[in-house]
Structure 1
Amino acid sequence: MPIKLDKIDRRILRALQENARLQNTDLAREVGLSPSPCLRRVRLLEEAGVIDRYVTVLNPAMVGAGLTLFARVWLIAQDAETIEHFIEAMKRLPQVMECYIMLGESDALLRVVVADLDAYRHFQSTHLTRANGIQNVKTDLPSQVVKQTYALPL
């Protein structure tokens, strides 16, 4: 259940989404607080689970993971055991950046990141198989990234 955020909480969260490495004094100045109350608010947001974790966003091309593909997945069955087996298998695969169980035409949607098409073909033939509860996969290759953000609208 969402918690009540005031204007200052939202300013803190927007600033941290833009740059999580902001020093507390810089963050406090940006949101209009003194450092001590600012730090207290950040800690409260962390404790409440509003701030889930801090991460570093890498440039995929610079680390050999420059190709993103989307895979629509149909499972061999829709029972709880098959779905759970699939979920656990996807959690173990570092190439799977996002995995969603879907309502609609396909059963799941994956965002997969690999070095190139050969790496994806190997990934698909090794991991997107019946052994992981998968009956069928249709892969989409984006031609252009128009927008990619990790910041939630606040």
Structure 2
Amino acid sequence: MTFILDDYDKAILRELQEDASISNLNLSKKIGLSPSACLTRTKNLVETGIIKKFTTIVDENKLGIEVTALALINLTPFNRETIHSFLEDIDRYPQVQECYTLTGSHDFLLKIVAKDMESYRNFIIDSLMQNSAISRVDTSMVMSTEKRTVSVPIDEV
């Protein structure tokens, strides 16, 4: 289901994507609405599911998490049962930050973080590969992150 957003809704989303900790009072001043109207609109964006949640982005490097890897996964057989089992496993691993179902020659793409290469290796062997449906893991190591955002381009909706 697609929702029609007016300029105020879009402004709220832009501001909250920039700083989700902004107070309703400051948000209302930035977008030019009364605090009560701004709060009502923000609650509506949450209730309709357009805003999924408010969160904090942590700098993993400052915590000593040095490895980011992109792992392409193949399952055999690729069917409803193995997919369900794989996704249940993935949900249990905090190292897996993102999981995408793909078309083409690979079934899934995982973004995985680890303290170091040894921790990454141990995670792949001791945890991920314990799922017998995983037939192949191709990993690319991230050398540096040039752009990273969780913001959606609001002006395009």
User: Normalized against structure 2, the TM-score is what?
Assistant: 0.94
Superposed, 1:104-123 pairs within 5 Å as 104-123=104-123
CA–CA distance in 2 between the matches of 1:45 and 1:101? 27
In the other structure, the counterpart of 1:66 is: 66
2:42 paired residue number: 42
Matched with 1:133 is 133
TM superposition shift of 1:130: 5.2
* Aligned counterparts, 1:1-150, within 5 A: 1-129=1-129, 131-150=131-150
Measured at CA, do residues 133 and 109 of structure 1 come closer, stay the same or move farther in structure 2, by a change above 3 Å? same
TM-score w.r.t. the length of structure 1 is 0.96
CA distance in 2, matches of 1:61, 1:130: 28
* Deviation, structure 1 residue 146: 1.2
What letter is aligned with 1:34?
S
Q: How many positions carry a matched residue from both structures?
A: 154
Q: For structure 1, which runs of at least 5 residues remain unmatched after alignment?
A: none
Whether the 8 Å CA contact 2:72–2:139 is kept in 1: the answer is: yes
Give distance in 2, aligned partners of 1:10 and 1:66. Answer: 36
Tell me, in whole angstroms, the C-alpha distance in 2 between the residues paired with 1:8 and 1:132.
50
Alignment root-mean-square deviation, CA? 1.1
Identity %: 38
4+ runs deviating over 4 angstroms: none
